[in-house]
Copies of this chain bind each other. A is one copy, B any other.
Amino acid sequence: MLRSFSAALLCAAALSAAPCDLIVSARYLVTMDARRQVIDNGAIAIKDSRIVAIGARAAIDRNWQPKRRIDRPNAIITPGLVNTHTHAAMSLFRGIADDLKLQDWLNNFIFPAEAKNVTPDFVRWGTRLAALEMLLSGTTTFTDMYYFEDVVAETAKEAGIRGVLGETIIGFPVADAKTPAAALAFTEKYLQRFKNDPLIVPAIAPHALYTNSDETLKASRALANKYNAPILIHLSETKKENDDNQAKRKQTPTQTLNSLGLFKGRTVAAHCVWTDAADQNLLKLGNVGVAHCPSSNMKLASGAAPVVDMLKRGIAVGLGTDGPAGSNNDFDMLEEVDLAAKLQKLVRGDPEALPARQSFELATIGGARALGLDREIGSLEVGKRADLIALSIDGPNAVPLFDVYSQIVYALKGSNVIDVVVNGREVVRDRRAVTLDQAAIIAKAREYGLSVAASVKQKH
């Protein structure tokens, strides 16, 4: 009698629960919302591409009736990681030439390798390889600067990964455009094709101040603003870049870009290692997002970006891996989070600098702000896109657990990622890619490796 009474109650509860597509639950939900709430034994209800409820698991289960569910009692769920700067298809050049001076690396290895190898097919497979590595290690949004960006966008949609994807504009002939004017024409078609896409934010990526004419930079800004597209650009990566611009114009690169009007519209600037206080004020005034790339800046000996200073000034700072051909050489965002925290401590001589939670902010809500997407992604909140990852805390590197942020930043690895949801779609489940054919991608990458190696001078 008691049993059937309970069953009737449960049935009534189920009947009164609202339908949704997916419920995910975990031991901890690290929301990264404005209050930085961490919910013990929490759950998230997802409908279509968005979060419709978040809270204690018992309440979510009472109120929502999902088609599918993912329950992870030994995991932490966080917002998906946001990579604010990379060159995904360069995965096929991974480690082709390391431990070299920047100009030697670019002029004698990378540019020749690109001239001989970059085609739409190369970009498609390179982006597939990158997307596979990114998704499996917890990245749900990547920001790209490369060639044939329409192919990158097609591939990102196929993989189910979110992308802010910038077509490169550069002052010499490249694989997809003979001139900057041709590149701008190509880009306009690309912007038109992918506007309003739920996964893709098409963007324009003038490579840098020092590789483009002022006219091209102004034309890029005008085109970007016509479509409300962001501009992605490298800025003050090396001391040489600053010194050269001072010699030529008696200005910092940031001052020059500002005076050209480049910041009058959505802009994401990668690196900003050599920005001073005045530069940072210009970035803040221009609402420019900064992509901090600690691995790349260390590996290329560029320096250490003044991240703590930029954050104090209210600049939106995200993290990026940079490309895997010499500057990293992987897409592992949890390594960048760890390294960002350690690098600021080192260069400031202060172990309290950029503590774990703040470093994790850079990889989530901070990166979303830097991309101008913080109303859509970067935290787990009702109304936002359902971009999230589950990190196992059931491995030897994950116990005991005293503080979730500390564990995520200093102890957990990309290999601890077990599930990934992007835009409400499960794209990794139980550490396996759902959307991509891993065996085919690895086989093709090896094939490209052989042809790339045969085509260019190698260091060894």
Q: Which residues of A contact B (CB under 8 A)?
A: 92, 94-102, 105, 129, 132-133, 136-137, 295, 297-301, 303-304, 324, 328-332, 335, 339, 341-343, 345-346, 348-353, 355-356, 394-397, 399-403, 406-407, 410-411, 413-415, 438, 441-442, 445-446, 448-450, 452-453, 458-460
Contacts and interface: CB of A to CB of B under 8 A. Distances in A.
Copies in the complex: 2
B133 A396 contact: yes
A110 to B, nearest CB: 13
A299 B347 CA distance: 11
Contacts of A415: 413-415
A427 to B, nearest CB: 14
Most buried by B among A133, A335, A345, A399: A399
A271 to B, nearest CB: 14
Nearest to A133: B396
Most buried by B among A92, A98, A330, A442: A98
Contact of A351 (B94, B100, B331, B413): B100
Contacts of A350: 301
A73 to B, nearest CB: 12
Contact of A98 (B94, B339, B356, B413): B356
Contacts of A298: 342-343, 345-346
Contacts of A400: 92, 94, 445-446, 448-450, 452-453
A446 B399 contact: yes
Nearest to A358: B99
Contact of A403 (B129, B328, B441, B460): B460
Nearest to A298: B342
Contacts of A448: 400
Contacts of A92: 400
B300 A345 contact: yes
